[in-house]
Amino acid sequence: MPEKPRWIHFTGIGDSEVGYISVAQGNTHVPFPIERVYWVYFTPDYIERGNHAHKQCKQILIAVSGRVEVELENALGETFTFLLDTPDHGVYIPVMHWRKIHMDQNAVLLCLASEKYFEEDYIREYEVFKGLK
Ligand code: T46
């Protein structure tokens, strides 16, 4: 059975008087060593991002600001939807999950990745992804 995507809760240290800090340490709060961090922002509402899967790269996506919808499909055709709208939660995406991402224009999506950027790790054609099951 493929590993399932799941919520990751990041404890908010602090309180409403002073604000909060959340921490993502590789192999502790996150189930892999963090090799790369990137963030996505100023994405118009009508744009659909993603539309690919990764062969080796695992990721955690966190909406540090705003609202992001993440739709996932695994090789068995099972689908999962996560609405990211709070900075103390992220979604863990195992390998081989096709993703579609819709962001509010003002949203900032922080991504923690298990691998360095490597274009050959991407499957960008849906028919190829479906054919690999
Ligand atoms: C993912 C979602 C959530 C780089 O050169 N280095 C990088 O580390 C990344 C992430 C991207 N790029 C280049 C590759 C493309 O020429 O930036 C361009 C846009 O990338 P892409 O079309 O893959 O963007 P998204 O938003 O569809 O996907 C990105 C990540 O690539 C992907 O791994 O899961 O964010």
Q: Is 54 a catalytic residue?
A: no
Give the whole-angstrom CA distance, residue 40 versus residue 46. 15
Within 6 Å (CB) of ligand 1, which residues are found? Answer: 36, 38, 40, 49-50, 59, 61, 99, 101, 111, 117
Q: Across all residues in the chain, what is the average pLDDT?
A: 96
- The CA 50 to ligand 1 mean position distance, Å, reads 8
> Which of the following is catalytic: 52, 54, 97, 102?
52
Nearest CA to ligand 1 atom 21: 50
Ligand 1 pocket check: which of 108, 111, 121, 122 to mutate, most ligand atoms within 8 Å of Cβ? Answer: 111
Confidence (pLDDT) at 132: 80
The secondary structure of 2-43 as a DSSP string is PPPPEEEEPP-EEETTTEEE----BTTTBSS---EEEEEE--
Report the Cα–Cα distance between both ends of the chain, in Å, rounded: 12
From the CA of 100, how far away is ligand 1's center (Å)? 12
Q: Which residue has the higher pLDDT, 26 or 39?
A: 39
Average pLDDT over residues 72-88: 97
pLDDT tens, residue by residue, 36-46: 999 999 999 99
- What confidence score (pLDDT) does residue 133 get? 61
